[in-house]
């Protein structure tokens, strides 16, 4: 069984769990290789930020690390999800004063398609789903992912790998499960207020010294981009070869960022 709930093996979460009822939860999706997670500190920092904003007391990171090691096979690549919910209790939307959070640690096999996508690129579509930059929980990886699920359904229906979600002003914001990076001239451009503050981008900024320009671009400027990339902490850096009718080469910036990523995180 590939799940630990509050440190115990099982698959049953009470039906009054507030994460289930209201999405009152935060989570992290973490790449592990042979029992190691190179981006662990960045994930724990984001989990702490999300927990603080939702007033969820966090377990000690040593407990989470121990449970990951307990659950995972010693060898191989896996994707671990750590979910921290507000647990049971409260009255409707009104939470208990002293929240007793519930933690769930689970894992799944490494996605087969990632390596090919890194080499050959992704085909994206412009989603009809938009994201609101006035969302008070913007940047957090919280339990309400309905916009992303709706965009993923569109991709399933149309046969695309991923989607571009726009903000409420019609400007390019991010992909379903990744941050978008647009290469405009000699600058790497990202949306100034992403729906999720990406761990992959944080690593490239801090460890690889990459400089990203926070700038919201309208869809009409896609034709000015020499490369488009999607980046997340599991799949790393993947090139975009098409967004609807727009075509993009797999260029030198993508391959450079991939080389930085692969040298330290693979």
Q: Assign residue 82 the CATH number of its domain.
A: 3.30.470.10
CATH number of the domain that residue 151 is part of:
3.20.10.10
266 residues of the chain, pLDDT tens digit each:
699 999 999 889 999 999 999 999 999 999 999 999 999 999 999 999 999 999 999 999 999 999 999 999 999 999 999 999 999 999 999 988 888 899 999 999 999 999 999 999 999 999 999 998 878 888 899 999 999 999 999 999 999 999 999 999 999 999 999 999 999 999 999 999 999 999 999 999 988 888 999 999 999 999 999 999 999 999 999 999 999 999 999 999 999 999 999 988 76
Which whole-number Å values give the CA distances from 89 to 17, 30, 85, in the listed order? Answer: 7, 29, 11
Q: What is the pLDDT of residue 130?
A: 94
Q: Across-strand partners of 88? A: 17
- Last residue of some domain: 63, 91, 110? 110
Q: Domain containing 214: what range? A: 115-265
CA angle 186, 46, 164 (to 5 degrees): 50
Q: What pLDDT shows up at residue 105?
A: 97
Are 148 and 195 members of one domain? yes
Cα–Cα distance list, 76 to 32, 68, 110, 174, 213 (Å): 8, 14, 8, 30, 36
Q: Are 84 and 27 found together in one domain?
A: yes
Please tell me the pTM assigned to this model: 0.94
Check whether residue 128 and residue 67 sit in a common domain.
no
**Do 226 and 176 belong to one domain?**
yes
**176 and 254 fall within a common domain:** yes
28 - beta bridge partners? 82
Give the count of domains, the chain: 2
Sheet containing 25-33, strands listed edge to edge, beginning at the edge strand earlier in sequence: 8-9, 3-5, 102-109, 77-85, 25-33
Tell me: do 185 and 234 sit in the same domain.
yes
Q: Which pLDDT does position 30 carry in this prediction?
A: 98
Q: Are residues 252 and 120 in the same domain?
A: yes
- Whether 133 and 187 map to the same domain: the answer is yes
| Domain-ending residue, one of 110, 144, 163 | 110
| Whether residue 120 is found in the same domain as residue 140 | yes
In this structure, are 243 and 148 located in the same domain?
yes
Name the nearest CA neighbour of 162 among 149, 176, 182, 148.
176
Query: What local confidence, expressed as pLDDT, does residue 19 receive?
Result: 95
- 130 in Cβ contact with 137 (< 8 Å): no
110, 145, 177: which is the final residue of a domain? 110
The H or E element containing residue 146 is helix 146-158
Question: Do 148 and 254 fall within a single domain?
Answer: yes
What is the b/e burial string over 201-221, where b = at least 16 CB atoms within 10 angstroms of the residue's CB? Answer: bbbbeeeeebebeebbbeeee
User: In this structure, are 100 and 222 located in the same domain?
Assistant: no
Q: What is the model's pLDDT at position 218?
A: 96
């Amino acid at each position: 069984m590939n799940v630990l709930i509050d440190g115990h093996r099982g698959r049953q979460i009470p039906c009054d769990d507030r994460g289930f009822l209201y999405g009152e939860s935060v989570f992290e999706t973490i790449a592990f290789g042979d029992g190691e997670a190179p981006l662990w500190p960045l994930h724990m920092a984001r989990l702490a930020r999300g927990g603080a904003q939702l007033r969820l007391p966090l377990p000690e990171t040593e407990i989470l690390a121990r449970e990951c090691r307990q659950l995972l096979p010693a060898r191989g690549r896996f994707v671990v999800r750590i979910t921290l919910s507000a647990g049971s209790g409260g009255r409707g939307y009104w939470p208990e004063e002293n929240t007793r959070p519930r933690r769930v640690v689970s894992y799944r096999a490494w996605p087969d398609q990632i390596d090919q996508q890194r080499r050959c690129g992704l085909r994206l579509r412009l989603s009809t789903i938009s994201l609101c930059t006035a969302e008070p929980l913007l940047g957090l990886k919280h339990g309400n992912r309905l916009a992303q699920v709706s965009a993923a359904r569109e991709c399933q229906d149309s046969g695309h790998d991923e989607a571009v979600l726009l903000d409420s002003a019609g400007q390019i914001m991010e992909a379903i499960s990744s941050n978008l990076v647009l290469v405009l001239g000699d600058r790497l451009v990202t949306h100034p207020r992403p729906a999720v503050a990406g761990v992959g981008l944080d690593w490239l900024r801090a460890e690889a010294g990459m400089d990203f320009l926070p700038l919201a671009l309208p869809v009409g400027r896609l034709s000015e981009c020499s490369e488009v990339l999607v980046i997340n902490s599991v799949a790393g850096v993947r090139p975009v070869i098409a967004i609807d009718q727009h075509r993009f080469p797999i260029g030198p910036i993508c391959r450079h960022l991939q080389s930085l990523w692969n040298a330290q995180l693979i």
